[in-house]
């Protein structure tokens, strides 16, 4: 539009004439043109030039409007200090009360954006006072709600709650059912942030009841809030119920469902239900990718890392954590780029203002030069007129000439002063530009500081991972020391046998010397020999006892066949087994309860349980492999292969489960908290053997071990959870209940079954 080429003096003349003649309609039409442009700098230039023209013939309403409009431009571009300067300038003019109210709301919004809630509150309350005088109910509700939002934005939850209760008082006095559901929901939201979770649940329930009448509140939002509040109170069942109701209200194909799935996954993870935590976290991940919910996607990778960590699959945990960090850093980079673009936009706006003001100063200089030329022209015309006035008296002509010269000098002095004033203005603009450069450098420094902070957070995460690795190394060192002790016992046993052989050899030599040396003293020597034989028999008994102790200790650590192989050859070859059933147990709630139990009592309780486990696995021909903290591992079909190990392992698992149920009942009857037990089994091929050269440890390896561990972690307390492979081998012997599939590394999805206590045959 050619109208916005502001160098056209005709447009300035139109506005100036409208101002001088107080033609409000013409002024309004002229200023309305500014709103038709989408170019911020162009609109700003229009308003600043209009403001300068209006100042030549001050009119309060116009100056109020122009200052307000300039302030709105700066507020929109988040140049808050400049916006406040123009809003404060507009404040000086006495205008219509409704316009003042709008200005106060604009100023309050700027203070809110700057993070000064108390300053924003002052201006909001000025508007509130006007609404209270007029008894404007809707206006009062609106201002109180703005105050609530301001305090929430600045984490002043107590003040926000106070404003919400004021709204509640107004709405209940009016019996305003339209606003009550939303209001009760907001109060519950407020209490949740104050960590008063029971009060939060109370008001969310009020909102649910009130909404049955008005249907004003989105039920998916309300049920989500109720689910979070119940979880915070520790009520897992109601939390999951309401989150599922929220999903049902949303329906399929809604982007918010991934947020709800992630909430449900976190609740299951916090309660150590790894199977359901993984299931819902995968749903949340798929939904976040589909609907491009980037923030939720970042959190699902972090939750996935925690799940695999609990499953002892540290490789997958590390992979998910890396993805979490990569996505988080990429989104942070995008935020920084957006912030830099905003800063660049702000710099452009500030530069535009300075350039506009500089142009206006240059225009003033040009106007002054034109006025000077006009004066000089008038002086020349006066001289010509004086020359043509030869009939006038010489004295009068001289007086006129002198007067004209004085006027000319006075006008030149005036022009000189105007030029000096212009130079001062230019100097001020140069200083402002220097300040702008310094501000920009400060913002760049802040961005660099944020970058360093992100690097520190990454370093902290790496340190945490190293600490976990050190803990694993310490655990391996403890196992190594145990193996070394066993090796030392074996060496001592071998030394005892060697001493025995040496003793026998010495005695035989001594006996030969006695027979050859003196036959007549044989009776005496025979008697001495009998005594020596008794000592030998006694030493032999001692050696046999020590050997029996050593063998018994070795058999406690290694299978009989493996121990025999080690004694005969000094090493044991690893063996492959095609059909082995691995049994895992784990105590749910062990970590939480152990924090409140003395160490000696904790070890005593574990020892009691594991001794019974040892007896049971021995009864059914299983081999105990090891204990892992509060976990227990055994296997059937090793070291001697057999075909009955799936049935044997299931029977052992059922007996262990029955023992733990009975023990839990006894503890609960005595008022003692106790842990539940998960049991998982899988049948497949493994490699078994002895690791270490000094402290021996018999162990098994293979994907089947990992699968059995996943059967345990994916099971439930009080249940025996078996894989589909084991189910095929015991089918027809026990009643089993199919319960779905679980993802297994290197195998994909595999079916799971609960084994019931009831036997078919």
The enclosing domain of 191 has a CATH number of 1.25.40.10
Angle 124-125-126 (CA atoms, 0-180°, nearest 5)?
Answer: 90
User: Is residue 542 a part of any domain in this protein?
Assistant: no
Q: What value does the mean pLDDT of the chain take?
A: 76
Residues 599 and 740 in one domain: yes
Which residue(s) pair with 33 in the sheet? none
In this predicted structure, what is the pLDDT of residue 3?
Answer: 31
User: Is residue 129 a part of any domain in this protein?
Assistant: no
* pLDDT, tens only, 300-356: 999 999 998 888 888 888 988 888 888 888 877 766 766 666 566 555 555 655 555
Percentage of the chain exceeding pLDDT 70: 61
> Which residues lie below 8 Å from residue 285, measured CB to CB, with a gap of 6+?
258, 297, 300, 301, 304
Upper half-sphere CA count for residue 36 (Cβ side, 13 Å): 9
**What span, in angstroms and rounded, lies between the C-alpha atoms of 205 and 226?**
8
Residues 448 and 323 in one domain: no
Residue 586 or 96, more confident: 586
Domain final residue pick, 311, 334, 357: 334
The whole-number average pLDDT for the span 657-662 is 93
In this predicted structure, what is the pLDDT of residue 637?
Answer: 94
Domain final residue pick, 193, 224, 251: 251
Residues 308 and 397 in one domain: no
The domain that holds 319 is classified in CATH as: 1.25.40
User: Is residue 533 a part of any domain in this protein?
Assistant: no
Residues 637 and 740 in one domain: yes
Domain final residue pick, 451, 472, 493: 472
* pLDDT, tens only, 127-174: 888 888 888 988 888 999 999 999 988 889 899 999 989 988 888 888
Residues 740 and 704 in one domain: yes
In this predicted structure, what is the pLDDT of residue 218?
Answer: 85
Residues 298 and 198 in one domain: no
Residues 748 and 609 in one domain: yes
In this predicted structure, what is the pLDDT of residue 748?
Answer: 85
Question: Confidence class of residue 384 from pLDDT cuts 50, 70 and 90?
Answer: low
User: Is residue 444 a part of any domain in this protein?
Assistant: yes
DSSP classification of residue 731: B
* pLDDT, tens only, 53-81: 676 666 777 778 878 888 888 888 778 88
User: Is residue 122 a part of any domain in this protein?
Assistant: no
The whole-number average pLDDT for the span 387-398 is 67
Residues 580 and 706 in one domain: yes
Residues 642 and 732 in one domain: yes
- pLDDT at 44 exceeding the cut of 80: no
Residue 593 or 457, more confident: 593
- pLDDT at 622 exceeding the cut of 80: yes
Q: Which of 587, 609, 589, 583 is nearest to 707 (CA)?
A: 583
User: Is residue 328 a part of any domain in this protein?
Assistant: yes
> Which residues lie below 8 Å from residue 444, measured CB to CB, with a gap of 6+?
none
In this predicted structure, what is the pLDDT of residue 438?
Answer: 54
User: Is residue 156 a part of any domain in this protein?
Assistant: no
* pLDDT, tens only, 213-270: 888 888 888 889 999 999 999 898 898 899 888 888 887 667 778 888 999 999 999 8
Question: Confidence class of residue 35 from pLDDT cuts 50, 70 and 90?
Answer: low
> Which residues lie below 8 Å from residue 707, measured CB to CB, with a gap of 6+?
682, 684, 723, 744, 747, 750
In this predicted structure, what is the pLDDT of residue 463?
Answer: 61
Q: Which of 173, 164, 194, 254 is nearest to 218 (CA)?
A: 254
The whole-number average pLDDT for the span 548-552 is 59
> Which residues lie below 8 Å from residue 759, measured CB to CB, with a gap of 6+?
733, 734, 735
**Number of domains present in the structure of the chain:** 4
- pLDDT at 380 exceeding the cut of 80: no
Residues 727 and 634 in one domain: yes
In this predicted structure, what is the pLDDT of residue 77?
Answer: 79
- pLDDT at 473 exceeding the cut of 60: no
Residues 325 and 275 in one domain: yes
The domain that holds 683 is classified in CATH as: 3.30.70.1230
- What is the span of the domain harbouring residue 324? 264-334
Residues 308 and 182 in one domain: no
User: Is residue 153 a part of any domain in this protein?
Assistant: no
Upper half-sphere CA count for residue 249 (Cβ side, 13 Å): 16
């Amino acid at each position: 539009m050619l109208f916005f080429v502001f160098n056209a003096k005709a447009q300035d003349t139109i506005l100036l004439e409208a101002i001088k003649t107080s033609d409000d309609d013409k002024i309004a039409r002229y200023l309305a043109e500014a709103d038709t442009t989408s170019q911020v700098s162009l609109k700003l230039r229009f308003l600043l030039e209009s403001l300068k023209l209006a100042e030549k013939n001050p009119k309060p309403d116009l100056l109020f409007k122009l200052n307000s409009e300039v302030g709105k431009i700066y507020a929109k571009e988040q140049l808050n200090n400049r916006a406040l300067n123009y809003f404060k300038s507009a404040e000086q003019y006495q205008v219509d009360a409704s316009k003042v109210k709008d200005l106060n709301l604009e100023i309050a919004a700027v203070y809110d954006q700057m993070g000064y809630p108390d300053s924003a509150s002052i201006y909001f309350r000025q508007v509130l006072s006007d609404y209270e005088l007029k008894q404007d109910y809707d206006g009062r509700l609106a201002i109180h709600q703005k105050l609530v939002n301001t305090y929430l934005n600045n984490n002043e939850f107590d003040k926000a709650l106070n404003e919400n209760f004021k709204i509640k008082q107004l709405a209940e006095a009016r019996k305003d059912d339209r606003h009550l559901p939303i209001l009760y929901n907001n109060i519950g939201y407020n209490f949740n942030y104050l960590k008063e979770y029971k009060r939060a649940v109370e008001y969310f329930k009020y909102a649910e009841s009130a909404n049955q009448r008005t249907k004003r509140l989105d039920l998916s939002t309300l049920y989500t809030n109720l689910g979070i509040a119940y979880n915070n109170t520790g009520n897992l069942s109601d939390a999951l119920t309401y989150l599922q109701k929220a999903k049902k209200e949303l329906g399929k194909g809604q982007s918010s469902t991934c947020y709800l799935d992630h909430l449900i996954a976190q609740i299951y993870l916090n309660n150590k239900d790894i199977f359901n935590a993984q299931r819902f976290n995968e749903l949340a991940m798929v939904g976040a990718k589909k609907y491009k919910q980037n923030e939720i996607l970042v959190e699902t990778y972090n939750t996935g890392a925690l799940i695999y960590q609990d499953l002892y699959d540290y490789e997958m945990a590390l992979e998910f954590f890396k993805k979490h960090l990569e996505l988080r850093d990429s989104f942070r980079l995008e935020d920084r780029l957006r912030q830099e673009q905003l800063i660049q936009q702000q710099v452009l706006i500030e530069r535009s203002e300075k350039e506009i003001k500089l142009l206006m100063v240059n225009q003033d200089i040009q106007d002054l030069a034109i006025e000077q030329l006009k004066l000089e022209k008038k002086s020349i015309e006066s001289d010509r007129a004086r020359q043509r006035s030869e009939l006038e008296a010489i004295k009068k002509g001289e007086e006129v000439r002198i007067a004209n010269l004085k006027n000319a000098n006075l006008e030149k002095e005036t022009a000189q002063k105007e030029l000096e004033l212009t130079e001062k203005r230019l100097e001020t603009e140069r200083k402002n530009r220097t300040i702008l450069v310094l501000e920009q450098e400060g913002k760049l420094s802040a961005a660099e500081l944020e970058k360093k902070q992100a690097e520190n957070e990454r370093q902290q995460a790496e340190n945490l991972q190293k600490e976990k690795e050190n803990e694993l190394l310490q655990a391996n060192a403890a196992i190594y020391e145990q193996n070394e002790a066993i090796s030392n016992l074996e060496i001592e046993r071998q030394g005892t046998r060697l001493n025995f052989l040496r003793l026998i050899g010495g005695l035989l030599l001594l006996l030969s010397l006695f027979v050859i040396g003196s036959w007549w003293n044989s009776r005496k020597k025979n008697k001495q020999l009998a005594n020596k034989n008794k000592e030998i028999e006694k030493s032999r008994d001692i050696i046999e006892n020590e050997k029996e102790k050593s063998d018994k200790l070795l058999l406690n650590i290694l299978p009989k066949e493996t121990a025999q192989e080690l004694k005969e050859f000094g090493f044991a070859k690893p063996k492959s087994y095609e059909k082995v059933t691995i049994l895992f147990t784990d105590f749910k709630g062990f970590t939480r309860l152990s924090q409140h139990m003395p160490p000696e009592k904790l070890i005593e309780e574990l020892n009691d349980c594991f001794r019974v486990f040892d007896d049971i696995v021995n009864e059914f021909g299983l081999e105990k492999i090891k204990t892992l903290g509060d976990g227990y591992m055994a296997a059937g079909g090793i070291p001697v292969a057999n075909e009955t190990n799936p049935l044997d392992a299931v029977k052992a698992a059922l007996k262990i489960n029955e023992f733990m149920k009975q023990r839990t009942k006894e503890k609960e009857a005595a008022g003692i908290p106790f842990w539940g037990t998960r049991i998982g089994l899988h049948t497949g091929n493994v490699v078994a053997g002895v690791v270490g050269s000094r402290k021996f440890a018999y162990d098994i390896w293979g994907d089947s071990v990992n699968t059995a561990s996943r059967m345990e972690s994916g099971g439930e307390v009080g249940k025996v959870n078996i894989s589909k492979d084991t189910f095929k081998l015991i089918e027809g012997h026990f009643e089993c209940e199919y319960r779905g599939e679980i993802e297994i590394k290197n195998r994909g999805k595999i079916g799971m079954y609960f084994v019931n206590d009831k036997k078919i045959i």
